[in-house]
Structure 1
Amino acid sequence: MRFTIGIILMFATLASTSRIHRYESRNNIDKYTQECGVELKISPSDLNKYSTPYMPEDAVGQCFRKCMFEKFGILDKDSAFKPEEILKLMSQNNHPLVGDADFISRIEKCAKEANLIENACERALRGAKCFNSESMKNKKIES
């Protein structure tokens, strides 16, 4: 199966320095991808298109993102983003910007803006887009 959605990769595997942790994260991604596929009744042949960084933004793609985010614990029981859990997951994976105040502020802003969206699946898409926006990608990692 091809690599799964970019936002989960950012949180779960980006800059991880532990091979064991990367292996566990990869296993979780594969497991959650299958679970979300079953929950959303996505056929195995269609699951490939929803488990790529450039998955469709249709209703299924939106709800697939929501499902994955729920599995990773970055959404609360009302499907609102939890910035503290996003940062915790990134910290567990040794993301180099976790302590950066500007980066933290951007994560919090994305979560706050996405949480204003009424529909939980659309909210997941909006959050994913913001987290993967150019302003987040262009944040320099200083060595």
Structure 2
Amino acid sequence: MKYFVAVLLLAAVVFADAEWKIQTAENLNAYRPECANSLSIPEDKVNEYKKWNFPNDEKTQCYIKCIFGKMGLFNEKDGFNVEHLVKQLGQGKNETIIRPEVVKCADKNPQKTNACQWAYRGFDCFKKAHLDLVQTSVKKN
């Protein structure tokens, strides 16, 4: 019985991951208004985000968490999905080079900060280390 349960759990993980797809600019453009509306973020601030200007404030942190959540890259319980991030940022590049950078930025929340701060901290790390990869990863495929 234990073996059967283990196989089912493994199949569920594999199937769930198989459903995830690399996110595109179209996905990001769909998520932006959803996240902005749910957080009451004004249009001028969203326009700044589109220019890759992300101030370290509570609304921006939660906006990043919302976007990453919708993209399947972050959730409040587990934090960052390293496999999805490697695929999203790598997109055909050598994943063995990208993985250590992703792992470094995708911390396990040692500061025990709230989910918005946690998501923002990881995003800020990705952005500082590899802004070009972050920007390219959501361009039209």
* 1:79–1:38 distance in 2 versus 1, CA, 3 Å: farther
Pick the aligned partner of 1:116 from 110, 119, 122: 110
Asked whether the 8 Å contact 1:110–1:127 carries over to 2, the reply is yes
User: What residue ranges of structure 2 are gaps of 5+ in the alignment?
Assistant: 1-21, 134-141
- Counterpart Cα distance in 2 of 1:138 and 1:39: 28
1:67 is aligned to 66
* 1:96 corresponds to 2:70: no
User: What residue ranges of structure 1 are gaps of 5+ in the alignment?
Assistant: 1-21
- Counterpart Cα distance in 2 of 1:40 and 1:57: 15
2:86 is aligned to 87
- Counterpart Cα distance in 1 of 2:30 and 2:131: 27
Deviation at 1:116, TM superposition (A): 2.5
Determine what percentage of the aligned residue pairs are the same residue: 29
Pick the aligned partner of 2:101 from 106, 122, 125: 106
Q: Considering fraction of residues, name the structure with more helix.
A: 2
Deviation at 1:138, TM superposition (A): 9.7
* Cα RMSD after superposing both structures: 2.8
Aligned counterparts, 1:1-143, within 5 A: 25-78=24-77, 80-91=79-90, 94-98=91-95, 101-112=96-107, 115-117=109-111, 118-134=113-129, 136=130
- Counterpart Cα distance in 2 of 1:30 and 1:137: 18
- Could you report, residue by residue, the CA deviation over 1:100-122 in whole angstroms, capped at 9, with x for unpaired residues? x2421121121125x32421111
TM-score relative to the length of structure 2: 0.66
Q: Which amino acid aligns with 1:108?
A: V
Asked whether the 8 Å contact 1:70–1:79 carries over to 2, the reply is no
- Rg larger for: 2
Asked whether the 8 Å contact 1:50–1:64 carries over to 2, the reply is no
- Counterpart Cα distance in 1 of 2:101 and 2:89: 14
